[in-house]
Amino acid sequence: MPDLGRPGKVIAVHTNYPSRAAQRGRTPEQPSYFLKPSTSVAASGATIVRPNGCELLAFEGEIALVIGRSLRGVSVEDGWSGVAGVTAANDFGVYDLRHADRGSNLRSKGGDGFTPLGPRVIVAETINPAQLRIRTWVNGELVQSDTTADLLFSFGRLVADLSQLITLERGDVILTGTPAGASVVVPGDVVEVEVDAPTMPGAPSTGRLVTTVAAGTTPLGAFGAGPRLDDLQRAEAWGSAEEAGLAPETTFLLTAELKARINSVGTATLSSQLRKRGLDNVSIDGLQSTRPSTRLVGRARTLRFIPNREDLFTAHGGGYNAQKRAFDGLGVDDVLVIEARGETGTGTVGDILALRAQVQGAAGIVTDGGVRDLAAVSALELPTYHRGGHPAVLGRRHVPWDVDLTIACGGASVQPGDIIVGDADGLLVIPPHLIEQLVTDSIEQEREETFIAEMVGAGEGVDGLYPMNAAWKERYRAWLTQQ
């Protein structure tokens, strides 16, 4: 049985628990991995240091597989037989440094002490891998509790998948993912993780893996990437926008009933009601739609491109950049609104990302720039508003910069959570706190206009009727009682 000293390799799985996948809003089709240095391993009772200048140190309680023998090319059925035992693990990470890793997680999750393991190993032969439980406590409060009964990828599958190309050696460790509840800790917090099998004879347990959080005192050097934060990182570190304190700005509930009421009135009517409230500069102008007959109603999510500069594109254009994060983060009824500065000399979205938005349930895409693969994007059911097609990739003119902040698009200011309404008449940006009364007044306005149109069709003149004077309003009230 290997000890828990210094494994040759520590391999971590990104997402494996359905509860975590639901929390993140994305479920992987296949497992994906990253490496953690063996120097990140620490024992129970150790202290983890949050780097100076960083805010978002997050814990992730996990079950660690300890490999018992050399494995290469094993089957899914034989994968579990290569595991000597399981223990508790904590996959700590600093979200302030994720931008520097380009998906490798080296700096954000590879720091010394960032992989506590232990304190004991449960022998694999004595347990059923589908009957384990993982729990995490912060300062004595239970914050994570889940089982291995419905993992996305079984332990045997993980071992088999990795062994297709990588020789797993005795003592190597595989971190098997974290359930929902992972969140941020601060200096002074104590985090405990335990793995057990409560339904099995003897209820074997690893005991509690204890880690205390301390504050770093040495600033990170200017010769390396420093901390950088945005609301996406805060939401993912805390586990949700609500836990991060962002919910009031981003989670306005667009119910099916409210959408139906919005769709019952025209954008021209909504525009006139906005103007009555002193809001004239709320239209996104100069765009055309791939689905002009489809009504667009949704909540704004935002993405900003800045003008291309070669060094900035090298640093921010590749990997899991802001553009990809924005599309991956879309949900039902979201409208991704893109600031492209009216630049039409390149595409800001293509067929793959547009398809991703449609699969996620998004309501539409609005960009004041160009669209790549325009024919394929137009073939999708998702309405996309744009300034025209262009074959070039975004690096010709743009750097994907940041998400979910106030932007400018087509001459209008757009904030995350604003209501976007679009049709053949154009696009409107509606502050969410106005929408209920705005729609109520718009419905009444269209009733009045139906009456006025009926009267004009019957031969009445418009003087005094449009708008209605007191006499016509009295006739209108009588007409309403007959409808």
Asked if residue 353 belongs to a known ligand binding site, the reply is yes
Q: Could you tell me if 206 and 67 lie in one domain?
A: yes
Mean pLDDT of 270-292: 94
Task: Say what the pLDDT of residue 439 is.
Answer: 92
Q: Is residue 3 part of a domain?
A: no
Q: How many domains does the chain have?
A: 3
95 close to 56: Cβ distance less than 8 angstroms? yes
Q: Could you tell me if 421 and 471 lie in one domain?
A: no
Asked if residue 373 belongs to a known ligand binding site, the reply is yes
Ramachandran angles phi, psi of 435, nearest 5°? -65, -40
Query: How far is the CA of 72 from the CAs of 16, 156, 158, in angstroms?
Result: 22, 13, 13
Q: List the CATH number of the domain containing 321.
A: 3.50.30.40
Distance CA 207, CA 401 (A): 45
Asked if residue 350 belongs to a known ligand binding site, the reply is yes
Q: Could you tell me if 220 and 339 lie in one domain?
A: no
Q: Could you tell me if 399 and 416 lie in one domain?
A: yes
Percent of the chain with pLDDT over 90: 72
Query: How far is the CA of 186 from the CAs of 89, 143, 443, 455, in angstroms?
Result: 19, 15, 51, 69
**Domain of 131?**
10-238
Quick: pLDDT tens for 155-175.
999 999 999 999 999 999 999
Distance CA 272, CA 37 (A): 61
Asked if residue 165 belongs to a known ligand binding site, the reply is no
Q: Could you tell me if 148 and 286 lie in one domain?
A: no
Asked if residue 117 belongs to a known ligand binding site, the reply is no
Q: Is residue 5 part of a domain?
A: no
Asked if residue 274 belongs to a known ligand binding site, the reply is no
Quick: pLDDT tens for 225-264.
788 877 778 888 888 777 777 644 445 678 889 999 999 9
Task: Say what the pLDDT of residue 252 is.
Answer: 63
Q: Could you tell me if 224 and 91 lie in one domain?
A: yes
Task: Say what the pLDDT of residue 1 is.
Answer: 40
Going by C-alpha positions, the residue among 310, 299, 377, 370 that lies closest to residue 337 is 299
Query: Can you give the pTM of this predicted structure?
Result: 0.55
Distance CA 251, CA 201 (A): 46
Q: Could you tell me if 168 and 25 lie in one domain?
A: yes
